[in-house]
């Protein structure tokens, strides 16, 4: 088997696609001068190519009789195989334009709680209306659990969220700005219309559990730079729990304003005593899908969604 593969590999190395196309034409048309003209070669060059092909295959391939060139038995067999092979090679260059209405592509999204609740409803509604055959696979992944290896391994086509750490070769586009606000129960006894820095740090805060020291909590880092530390009463691993806990206790949480407003009358939004950095939502993608029509279309839809959200 290894000997046969070595022989096959050696023969393939002697040829190229252009030579096989010329051979296919010669075997199909059986006219040296016409095929030379079609291939953009002189007749001597075409004759030289035929001589090389005869040497590779160990057969004349075409011979002359009183009617012109005719195929040998080996030539007939090769022509039949090349009919299929050349047609298959040509398909490599075929390109079918992306049509969202007919596509059945599956997009793999890695998304944070925040981005999911803000962007997914609008995105999925558009997909349902414009691309009913498209499927989405959505993994909710906290920012602190972003594995760069997962991104490069192709586990996600698109990453959505507050993206603090990405491989340097990835593309990134900002979609929305969001402000961080304080949320509390509607009737919280210790919080009025405004709150001081001293009152803020003394409250019972809900904070995200930090599993990775390289992702320090934005709020705590900001306060530490000013020599302050808030009281953290409870830590949670998924921040979507925060509004429910806040509404039913005297604890408070720092929360994206866009998402906080979706809870309506269940909670109260209070401007914090500090101007914390904005918690922007972005999308990021690998260079391998940068020019893929389906992915370009998906990213355009997300941009449109974010514009409508303002």
**Which pLDDT does position 224 carry in this prediction?**
92
Q: Which of 46-60, 121-135, 157-171 has the highest mean pLDDT?
A: 121-135
* pLDDT (average), residues 91-106: 85
Q: What pLDDT sits at residue 276?
A: 86
How far apart CA 215 and CA 49 sit, in angstroms, is 64
In the predicted model, is pLDDT for residue 58 greater than 80? Answer: yes
Secondary structure element (H or E) that encloses residue 160, with its range: strand 158-161
1, pLDDT greater than 50: no
State the chain's mean pLDDT as an integer.
Answer: 85
**For residue 181, is pLDDT > 50?**
yes
Spatial separation of the C-alpha atoms in residues 190 and 250, rounded to whole Å: 9
4 vs 210, more confident: 210
**pLDDT category of residue 189 using cuts at 50, 70 and 90:** very high
Describe the crossing of helices 32-39 and 17-29 by its angle, rounded to 10 degrees. 150
C-alpha torsion sign, points 273, 275, 281, 285: negative
The predicted model gives 13-37 an average pLDDT of 85
Q: Is residue 236's pLDDT more than 80? A: yes
Q: Rg (Cα) of the chain, in Å, rounded?
A: 33
Q: How confident is the model over 8-21, as pLDDT tens digits?
A: 454 566 677 888 88
Give the torsion through C-alpha atoms of 230, 236, 238, 243, to 10 deg: -70
Distance CA 100, CA 132 (A): 8
Helix axes 43-57, 32-39, angle to 10 degrees: 100
Strands 106-111 and 135-140, by their bridges, are: parallel
Please spell the DSSP secondary structure of 243-290, one letter per residue: HHHHHTSS-EEEEEHHHHHTTGGGEEEE--SS-PPP--EEEEE-GGGS
* Residues 239-256 pLDDT 10s: 788 999 999 999 999 998
Alpha helices in 132-241 (DSSP H): 148-152, 197-202, 218-224
How far are the Cα atoms of 126, 134, 273, 298, 300 from residue 99, in angstroms, in the given order? 14, 11, 50, 12, 14
Query: Please, are residues 299 and 285 in contact by the beta-carbon 8 Å criterion?
Result: yes
Write out pLDDT tens, residues 263-291: 888 899 999 999 888 778 899 998 888 99
Q: How confident is the model at residue 7 (pLDDT cuts 50, 70, 90)?
A: very low
pLDDT digits (tens, 9 = 90+) for 81-96: 988 888 888 777 777 7
Instruction: Please give the structure tokens belonging to residue 246.
Output: 């806040």
**pTM higher than 0.95, yes or no?**
no
């Amino acid at each position: 088997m290894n000997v046969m593969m070595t022989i096959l590999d050696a023969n393939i190395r002697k040829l190229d696609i252009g030579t096989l196309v010329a051979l296919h034409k010669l075997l199909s048309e059986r006219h040296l001068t016409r095929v030379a003209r079609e291939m953009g070669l002189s007749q001597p060059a075409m004759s030289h190519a035929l001589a090389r092909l005869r040497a590779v295959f160990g057969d004349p391939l075409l011979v002359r009789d009183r009617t012109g060139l005719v195929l040998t038995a080996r030539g007939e067999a090769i022509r039949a195989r090349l009919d299929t092979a050349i047609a298959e090679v040509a398909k490599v260059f075929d390109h079918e334009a992306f049509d969202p209405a007919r596509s059945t592509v599956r997009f793999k999204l890695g998304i944070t709680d925040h981005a999911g609740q803000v962007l997914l409803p609008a995105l999925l509604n558009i997909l349902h209306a414009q691309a009913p055959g498209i499927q989405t696979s959505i993994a909710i992944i906290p920012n602190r659990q972003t594995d760069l290896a997962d991104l490069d391994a192709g586990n996600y086509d698109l990453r959505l969220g507050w993206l603090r750490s990405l491989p340097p070769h990835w593309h990134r586009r900002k979609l929305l700005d969001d402000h961080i606000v304080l949320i509390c129960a509607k009737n919280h006894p210790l919080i009025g219309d405004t709150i001081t820095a001293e009152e803020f740090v003394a409250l019972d805060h809900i904070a995200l559990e930090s599993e990775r020291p390289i992702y320090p909590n934005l709020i705590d880092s900001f306060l530490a730079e000013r020599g302050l530390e808030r009281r953290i009463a409870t830590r949670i691993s998924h921040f979507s729990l925060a509004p429910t806990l806040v509404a039913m206790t005297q604890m408070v949480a720092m929360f994206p304003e866009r998402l906080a407003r979706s809870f309506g009358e269940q909670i109260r939004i209070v401007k914090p005593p500090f101007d914390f950095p904005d918690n922007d939502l972005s999308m990021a993608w690998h260079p391998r899908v940068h020019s893929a029509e389906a992915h370009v279309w998906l990213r355009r839809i997300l941009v449109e969604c974010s514009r409508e959200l303002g």
